[in-house]
Structure 1
Amino acid sequence: MARHVMLDPDAHRDLRVSFARGAQWGDAVMSAIVTPAEFRRVQNDYAILFRHDLAADRFDAHALFGFEPGENLYLEGDRWDAGALPLAIDIQPFLIGATRDGTARQVHIDLDHVRVAPAGVRLFDEDGRTTPFTDAAVEKLSALDTGWQAAPAFFSALRRHELLEPFTLEVTLADGAVNRLVGYHVIDEAKLRALDAAALGELHGGGHLMPIFMALASLTNLSGLVARKNRRSADG
């Protein structure tokens, strides 16, 4: 369950949020949505794959953490073993809300999220002012919201130039077990190479070439993810 409310200094004066890491804090997830604006920051750690929401006919990008639901191979006990955290993970339990007329953005919090915990960091000081922790969370929320708003133009460009192709990965682990990753898409590198100067100019002008290259570069992390899976399997 979730209980989303607008963050309020009077109602939430004594609220605390934990920024610890671990499965008990909701980090045992297979992937997280990332926006194209994040690709450069996260591509060194995670494979970036694309998933098609058939109901909404919309593509989203995902940073991959594991090969099956609930598996996060970057989690080492209470440590997240990566240089960067996707914003969608880093901002929990905060989220972006909006006024009823949709004209203004608001900071909301899920009061039922496991991270809302007595042992956490205060969100407001004794005078009702936001703490540095809250200020940083709001800054990250703003970055995520800006990236989310810009993402449709990126995916529209990919679809317009037919640059997405279905992707299936079958991994045979050291113990002989087979993991199969299906339902994702990647950048079609052959079609990207075949684009003419006008198409490449359009993509560059829209700011789309850099995230395309970052998504392609990120796929080198798949071998590292397989290695993490093998180590985890060997450890039992």
Structure 2
Amino acid sequence: MSGHALLTIEDHRDLRVRAERGAQLGDAVMCSIVVPTEFRRVQDEYPILFRLNAERDRFTALAMFGFETGENLFLEGGRWDARYLPLAIDIQPFLIGGAPSQSGDKQVHIDLASPRIGADGVRLFDEDGRPSPYLESITDKLGALDAGYQASGDFFAALSRHDLLEPLSLEITLDDGSINRLVGFHAINEERLQDLNAATLGELHVEDHLMPIFMALASLGNLTELIARKNRRTSGG
């Protein structure tokens, strides 16, 4: 159960948040939402796939950490073994509150039911009630995540307009003979992308969509490393 609340100095002066990583802190997740503005950083580490939401009227982009629910192959020995954390992971247990529109005022909210709330964590406010460097960093990341989300609608509309997503079904046989499957996801259709004419590619570039498309396509090379992580995990390595 969540306990979302507006973060205020009056109510949360002494609150501390655990910033380390671990399954017990909610990091045992198979994937995380990512926004196109962070694709360049994400593709260095993770495969980027796409999935239709429950209402099947909008795609979301996902950084993949594993092959099954609750599996995060980047968690090793109490640390997250990657150089970049997707924003939606990095800002937890904080979230954006307030008006959902681009022009509305936004607020910093916190999930008070999160296992990250703890007496041995990082302070959010200093003795004078000023935001700590940690909280200022979180605020910046929340702003980046919100801006990326606001801009993502046009990106996904462009993918749909040019039919650039195709269903992906991946069956992987591991070294121990077990089979893992990824189903229900989509990926960039490379053949369709190559068939686009110069005018369309120019339009995508002007709209700042071409780079994240290429980054998502390039990220698929990380599937090989994700499989290697899975093999090491199943063999006890």
TM-score (norm 1): 0.97
Residue type of the partner of 1:107?
V
Cα distance in 1 for residues equivalent to 2:44 and 2:26: 23
Cα distance in 2 for residues equivalent to 1:40 and 1:46: 11
Question: Do structure 1's residue 44 and structure 2's residue 44 form an aligned pair?
Answer: yes
TM-fit CA distance, 1:158: 0.4
SS of 1:151's equivalent in the other structure is: helix
Identity of aligned residues (%): 62
Residue type of the partner of 1:186?
A
Residue type of the partner of 2:116?
R
Aligned length: 236
TM-fit CA distance, 1:77: 2.1
* Structure 2 equivalent of residue 222 of structure 1: 223
After superposition, the Cα gap between the structure-2 partners of 1:163 and 1:170, relative to the gap in structure 1 and judged at 3 Å, is: same
* Structure 2 equivalent of residue 32 of structure 1: 32
Q: Which runs of 4+ in 1 moved over 6 A?
A: none
Cα distance in 2 for residues equivalent to 1:149 and 1:3: 25
TM-fit CA distance, 1:56: 4.8
1:98-130: CA deviations, max 9, x gaps? 059982100100111111111101101111110
1:26-69: CA deviations, max 9, x gaps? 10000000000010011010000000114151100000000000
Q: Which runs of 5+ in 1 are unaligned?
A: none
* Structure 2 equivalent of residue 172 of structure 1: 173
Q: Which runs of 5+ in 2 are unaligned?
A: none
1:187-229: CA deviations, max 9, x gaps? 1011110011111111111100000000011000000000000
* Structure 2 equivalent of residue 95 of structure 1: 95
SS of 1:10's equivalent in the other structure is: helix
After superposition, the Cα gap between the structure-2 partners of 1:164 and 1:116, relative to the gap in structure 1 and judged at 3 Å, is: same
After superposition, the Cα gap between the structure-2 partners of 1:77 and 1:38, relative to the gap in structure 1 and judged at 3 Å, is: same
TM-score (norm 2): 0.97
Cα distance in 1 for residues equivalent to 2:96 and 2:158: 26
* Structure 2 equivalent of residue 68 of structure 1: 68
Residue type of the partner of 2:182?
L
* Structure 2 equivalent of residue 113 of structure 1: 114
Question: Do structure 1's residue 124 and structure 2's residue 125 form an aligned pair?
Answer: yes
* Structure 2 equivalent of residue 59 of structure 1: 59
* Alpha-carbon RMSD: 1.4
SS of 1:198's equivalent in the other structure is: helix
1:7-42: CA deviations, max 9, x gaps? 101110000000011101110000000000010011
